[in-house]
Structure 1
Amino acid sequence: MQVSDIPALPRGVRLHHDRVRDTWVLLAPERAVTLDMVGHAILTEVDGIRTFGDITNGLAEKYNAPVAQIVEDSAGFLDALRNRRFLDVIA
């Protein structure tokens, strides 16, 4: 993922709070991914408008963490979602 890429959830994919399990999941048609706190924090920033660089800088500031570490972790997570078609990227 490049800093200028704009990640977006494709049509039919959404964040959902599973009240029974008290956890966040990413839902897609006939598929679901359970999210940990880090995954949820990243995906709540994905709005289809802001760039990957904007998102990671914001997360680094919000959680007082090194930008390089946030970039590395976020890129791996978002690339994995992209490979599984849970995420689109506008280059």
Structure 2
Amino acid sequence: MTATVTEPVVAPRLSKKFRLQWEDAQHAWVLLYPEGMVKLNQSAGEILSRCNGERTLTELVADLEQTFDTTGLQADVVAFLRMARQQLWIEY
């Protein structure tokens, strides 16, 4: 059975095809790949920077909610991770 992004034990990680880094010149997180670069908005960068293959979805959401002193982020994080997986940015 293949894991889905909504499972709390899923631990997403950045695909080996991409490298995430902070670009001072862009004032943003970017995803680098052989053909180019994707400039990420702040939310996307914060989520992807936590996708290390060790944090579960539950832990990732809890860390974001604690960092930004808010609650209720799970639906938005799941939606982003679905899109990121479709773009092949992350894997499980």
What is the TM-score when the length of structure 1 is the normalising length?
Answer: 0.83
Give the deviation of 1:4 after TM superposition.
1.0
- Note the aligned Cα RMSD (angstroms): 1.5
What's 2:51 paired with?
A: 46
What's 2:33 paired with?
A: 28
Unaligned runs of 5+ in 1: none
State the SS of the aligned residue for 2:88.
coil
State the SS of the aligned residue for 1:59.
helix
Q: How many matched pairs?
A: 87
What's 1:6 paired with?
A: 11
Does the Cα contact within 8 Å between 1:28 and 1:86 map onto a contact in 2?
no
Higher helix residue share: 1
What is the TM-score when the length of structure 2 is the normalising length?
Answer: 0.82
**1:81 to 2:88 alignment:** no
CA distance in 2, matches of 1:80, 1:59: 18
Does the Cα contact within 8 Å between 1:6 and 1:49 map onto a contact in 2?
yes
